[in-house]
Amino acid sequence: MQPILIAAAVVGALVGAYFLIASPLGPGGNMIQDTSDIEVAGTCEDAAARQFDFWVGEWNLTWADGGEGNNVIRSIMGGCVIEENFSAPAGGYFGKSVSTYATQQGMWKQTWVDNNGSYLDFSGGMEGDQMILSRQFTNVEGQTVMQRMRFYDIQQDQMDWTWERSLDQGQTWEPQWQIHYERRK
């Protein structure tokens, strides 16, 4: 067999394997449009994977300087992912996050993106009666910066959220943005 035919056969086999194993196509070759009802057996049912359920819903948001926004949180992909859709229309700020419980690591993981081009990744979980997700990075001055978000005073119809940073390895935390959540009736 000629080398070009061997290469074509290998590429064909790889493409075929993709469509059999990892394809976004459902039965009959149709693109899967909504994955909210796909169940993943045994990965999203334990208590730790349900810790973020308090956040699911539609929320009105307010913060100290008179700002207002909305946050719509959905449980998707068979309950394995929490999807956030944040908007502060007056300021033209919009963002989205996806969160999932990483069973093998025993913690929550969240990825945030927004219309400012930000990409942030967090990890954490429940600490007492608070959900705390944090991250660490080195800024352009070479300084280690820790950031965290805390969900606290969690009740059925309201809660508080604070964005904080630390420049001393978590010994002290400085609030950057505090938001009060009220569930829409």
Q: pLDDT tens digits, residue range 79-124?
A: 999 999 999 999 899 999 999 999 989 999 999 999 999 999 999 9
Contacts 24+ apart (CB under 8 A), 172-178: 173/148, 177/63, 178/63, 178/64
Question: CA 58 to CA 81: how far, in whole Å?
Answer: 16
Query: If we measure between CA atoms, which residue out of 161, 14, 24 comes closest to residue 84?
Result: 161
Q: pLDDT tens digits, residue range 37-70?
A: 444 444 688 899 999 999 999 999 999 988 999 9
CA 176 to chain centroid: 20
Phi–psi pair at 36, nearest 5 degrees = -65, -20
Specify the 3-state DSSP secondary structure of 11.
helix
Q: What is the pLDDT of residue 61?
A: 98
Query: If we measure between CA atoms, which residue out of 90, 94, 86, 87 comes closest to residue 65?
Result: 90
| pTM for the model | 0.76
